[in-house]
Amino acid sequence: MRFARLVAAVYAGQAARARVARVPLLFVAGLQSIGLLVLLRGVVDMDDLAERRQVVSGAVVLVVAFVALNLLAQRLGHLRAHGGLDYYAALGTPPAAVVLGTAAAYATFAVPSLVATAVTGALLYDLPLGALWVLAPVAVLGGAALAGAGAVLGLLAPKPEVATVLGQLGMTLVLFLGLVEPRGALRPVAALLPSTYAVEALREAFGETVSYGAVAADLAVCAAVAVVALGVAAAAFRRAVRR
């Protein structure tokens, strides 16, 4: 309960700061994914259900990556460079609470974009809207895993500018390996990305018959990656504060 209260406290503080950026969060996060859906609509084989499911699932997870991976890397890189981490360390706030609270603050303003992207994709690509039930666990668990990765990038980067570049590169990987099913040599690379399992879970939910075991397995991988990534981020947090 104490940990939850600390996450809520960090969330409240970061949400107040993120509120000034809510317009970019609401529009940029959604418009880039919806734009990709519209752009690819003319080239995707509409007779290929697997391809349609992949494109929509990848575009939806890209919204999550924009916030959890890209923006979080930038925000924590900024906090590290300007002494913000020392403030939380002095208060005895656990690093995981700082990461989760900050990620949740930005994610709150991106929820409308996430829902809009999912609904638009389902309608454009003739996929069942009933499959969107899995959107919530994908956003939470996939977002936590990507937030952990974003936190590691932001906390380990020597400068905020480097954290920004790394966050954008990470989001680019999510984009290219999420919108198109990885094949050949790209499969091992995709297997290392937590976003791949978030995409697979949502992709499975869009199928004609849903394997709930497969969805649960993909979400379990996201949860496991989140725990490991948050552990690494906590160590990076303590290292940054000691410096």
| Closest C-alpha among 217, 220, 83, 233 to residue 151 | 233
> What's the mean pLDDT when you consider all of the chain?
87
- Quick check: 150 and 167 in contact, CB under 8 A? yes
The pLDDT confidence band at residue 237, using thresholds 50, 70 and 90, is confident
Name the pLDDT band for 117 (thresholds 50, 70, 90).
very high
Q: For residue range 4-28, what is the model confidence (pLDDT) as tens digits?
A: 888 888 888 888 776 766 666 667 7
Q: What is the pLDDT of residues 171-203, one digit of tens each?
A: 899 999 998 888 888 889 899 899 999 999 999
Percent of the chain with pLDDT over 70: 95
Q: Which residues contact 35 (CB under 8 A, 6 or more apart)?
A: none
To 5 degrees, how large is the angle CA 52–CA 61–CA 200? 60
* Model pLDDT for residues 51-81, shown as the tens digit of each residue: 999 999 999 999 988 888 888 888 888 888 8
Distance of CA 88 to the CA centre of its chain: 23
pLDDT for the residue numbered 221: 95
User: What average pLDDT does this structure show over 143-153?
Assistant: 89
Please give the pLDDT value at position 131: 83
How many structural domains compose the chain?
A: 1
Token output for 67: 């916030």
| The pLDDT of residue 219 | 94
Task: Provide the token pair at 156.
Answer: 């380990």
Q: Considering the entire predicted model, what is its pTM? A: 0.89
pLDDT digit string, tens, across residues 82-99: 888 888 888 888 888 888
Q: What is the pLDDT of residues 196-219, one digit of tens each?
A: 999 999 999 998 888 999 999 999
Residue 220 has pLDDT above 90, yes or no: yes
Q: What count of Cα atoms within 13 Å lies in the side-chain half-sphere of residue 90?
A: 5
**46: three-class secondary structure by DSSP:** coil
pLDDT at 26: 66
The range of the structural domain enclosing residue 134 comes to 2-242
| pLDDT tens digits, 24-38 | 666 777 888 999 999
Chain-centroid distance, C-alpha 12: 20
- The sign one gets for the Cα dihedral 116, 133, 177, 47 is negative
- 36 neighbors 105 (Cβ within 8 angstroms): no
Distant-in-sequence, close-in-space partners of 49: CB < 8 Å, separation ≥ 6: 207, 208
